[in-house]
A and B are shown apart, each in its own frame.
Chain A
Amino acid sequence: GAGVSQSPRYKVAKRGQDVALRCDPISGHVSLFWYQQALGQGPEFLTYFQNEAQLDKSGLPSDRFFAERPEGSVSTLKIQRTQQEDSAVYLCASSTGTSFYNEQFFGPGTRLTVL
Chain B
Amino acid sequence: EDQVTQSPEALRLQEGESSSLNCSYTVSGLRGLFWYRQDPGKGPEFLFTLYSAGEEKEKERLKATLTKKESFLHITAPKPEDSATYLCAVQEGGGYNKLIFGAGTRLAVHP
Contact = CB atoms under 8 A, between A and B. Distances in A.
B44 interface: yes
A42 B102 contact: yes
B28 interface: no
Most buried by B among A50, A98, A99, A109: A109
Contact of B97 (A35, A41, A48): A48
Given A48-B97, A106-B45, A108-B43, 13 more contacts: A4-B43, A40-B103, A41-B103, A45-B98, A56-B96, A56-B98, A59-B98, A99-B97, A101-B32, A101-B49, A102-B97, A104-B99, A106-B43
Interface in B81-111: 87, 89, 91, 95-104
B16 to A, nearest CB: 28
Contacts of A43: 44, 87, 99, 101
B98 A100 contact: no
10 contacts: A43-B44, A43-B87, A48-B98, A100-B31, A100-B32, A101-B32, A101-B49, A106-B36, A106-B45, A107-B43
B104 A42 contact: yes
Given A100-B91, A108-B43, A48 B99 contact: no
A107 to B, nearest CB: 5
| Contact-residue size bin, chain A (C-beta under 8 Å from the other chain) | 20 to 34
A103 B99 CA distance: 11
Given A91-B43, A103-B46, A98 B103 contact: no
Interface of A: 4, 31, 33, 35, 40-45, 48, 50, 55-56, 59, 91, 93, 95, 98-109
A109 B41 CA distance: 8
B42 interface: yes
A16 B31 CA distance: 40
A55 B81 CA distance: 39
